[in-house]
Amino acid sequence: MAIQALSTRPARGAALMAQTFGIPIPPPAELRMEDYRANSLNQPPRFRDALRTGVVLLGTGVILPTVQAARITATLGFDWAFIDAEHTPMSPDLMTDLIKTINYYSEGATAAVVRVPTHSHEWMTWALDAGAAAIILPHTETAEQARKAVSNARFGPIGDRSFPPFSQVYGFTDGTPDNKPLLEVYNDNAAIIMQIESDLGAKNAEAIAAVQGIDGIMVGTVDLRLSMRLPMSFGGPEPEFIAAVDAIETAAKRNNLSLIAFGMGPMLEAKARKGYTGLMIAADMLALISGQTAGLTAGRNLMKALREEEKEEKERSTNGVVAQGL
């Protein structure tokens, strides 16, 4: 008996336990990232094409350096997952495992985006070889840095990335659309994003954004402020800070590059209205903190209310006994 292909993905979750624990089920994504997956989940998805749609892609941070947490994150329906290898100590093996966990456990519905720790070619190629949808290069300050990054991340004739002989299981995970050369799939699918987060980077934003082969600019406002000797914050009213952010955003838009940033809480609407199309709106560590403290707060408030109720009941009983005695 032939098995008919499903036109839509069957439901993977049930409502009963989610309702029991008060877990909200998000509405469907505006853009189905499954439609941008490669032939194999071992390869990078067509993240460059997804960015070019202009749809706001909502991401979450994979901050906890554990595959167990990434397995949960991968199933929740975010468009992309931000693996922070810059500020989370991890080995290349763990980074690779996190990328593959996101790819496979999400079944291609969530793209793995890695902020590598440095501009050295090793971390870039390890991430891309593992199937990362994009790499983010932190602390980009000059056009020369950006050109070097593109060269390290792209195979020839575009760049000088070395062929990875052991990244695929030949005959099983290296299939491509219309037998397109595998290295072209890597070049065409994975995005390269420069993070500008310093005063010098802001001054060079136009030159950086004009480098061929870049797909997006991530704006790092906290480090930008620190480099300008301003108080630590995600934003601020200082004219020089506002001008620096505007220079970065203008350069990205002028060169048709996607704008990426953190977009938690009230930052989300403001950045979406400014044209950002890649926004990290949550993080596993923050969810762990907020979820547990919310439960603890609710529990302690309930215990306090019950104690007050019990105290009032005792007072009513005592007053009743006294009244009867009179």
**Whether the Cβ atoms of residue 80 and residue 31 lie closer than 8 Å to each other:** no
The stretches of the chain forming alpha helices (DSSP H) are 15-20, 47-52, 67-74, 92-105, 121-129, 143-153, 182-189, 199-203, 205-209, 221-227, 239-254, 267-273, 284-325
Determine the distance from the C-alpha atom of residue 151 to the mean position of all C-alpha atoms in its chain, rounded to a whole number: 24
From the list 87, 119, 121, 139, the catalytic residue is: 87
CA distance 81 to 77: 10
User: Nearest 10 degrees: CA dihedral of 259, 265, 266, 270?
Assistant: 20
Report phi then psi at 311, rounded to 5. Answer: -65, -45
CA distance 262 to 247: 18
121 labelled catalytic: no
CA distance 50 to 182: 19
**Residue 322: what residue type?**
V
Nearest to 68 by CA among 304, 307, 238, 288: 288
What 3-state class would DSSP assign to 186? helix
CA angle 83, 246, 52 (to 5 degrees): 50
How buried is 3 (Cβ within 10 angstroms: 0-12 exposed, 13-18 middle, 19+ buried)?
exposed
Nearest to 42 by CA among 186, 168, 127, 176: 168
User: Nearest 10 degrees: CA dihedral of 219, 220, 221, 227?
Assistant: -120
Catalytic residues: 87
